[in-house]
């Protein structure tokens, strides 16, 4: 999965730049749209705000990934529809990231808990 133009992401944790609470780039609960490949447009309208699903970021010795702050909106809808717990979602992302293969996200989520769903 890569960030592509017009992808939507829900912010799951507010993002402050340089640990400055007055410099908020993304607000928890808001949905953001990518207007450029590899970027998620921020609160200031910066369409060049780069994010990578493969990069481990560091902020004051605290390591994090994009998935600590965002969830793809289509996955967010499926997670809530099928009541998948957040910890299971993180486990699913790890599995997807480690597999390095393109998979049908919806199919993966629907079979993730070894349950059968009617879609």
Whether pLDDT at 116 is above 60: no
pLDDT digits (tens, 9 = 90+) for 14-60: 998 887 889 999 999 999 999 999 999 999 999 999 887 665 555 55
pTM across the whole model: 0.67
Q: Report the b/e string of 25-54 with b at 16+ CB within 10 A.
A: bbeeeeebebbeeebbbbbeeeeebebebe
């Amino acid at each position: 999965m890569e960030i592509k133009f017009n992808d939507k992401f829900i912010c799951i944790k507010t993002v402050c730049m340089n640990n400055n609470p007055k410099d908020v780039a993304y607000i928890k609960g808001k949905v953001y749209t990518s207007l450029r490949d590899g970027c998620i447009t921020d609160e200031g309208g910066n369409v060049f705000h780069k994010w990578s699903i493969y990069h481990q970021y560091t902020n004051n010795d605290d390591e994090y990934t994009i998935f600590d702050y965002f969830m793809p909106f289509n996955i967010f809808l499926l997670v809530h529809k099928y009541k998948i717990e957040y910890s299971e979602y993180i486990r699913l992302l790890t599995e997807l990231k480690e597999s390095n293969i393109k998979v049908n996200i919806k199919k993966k989520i629907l079979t993730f808990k070894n349950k059968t769903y009617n879609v």
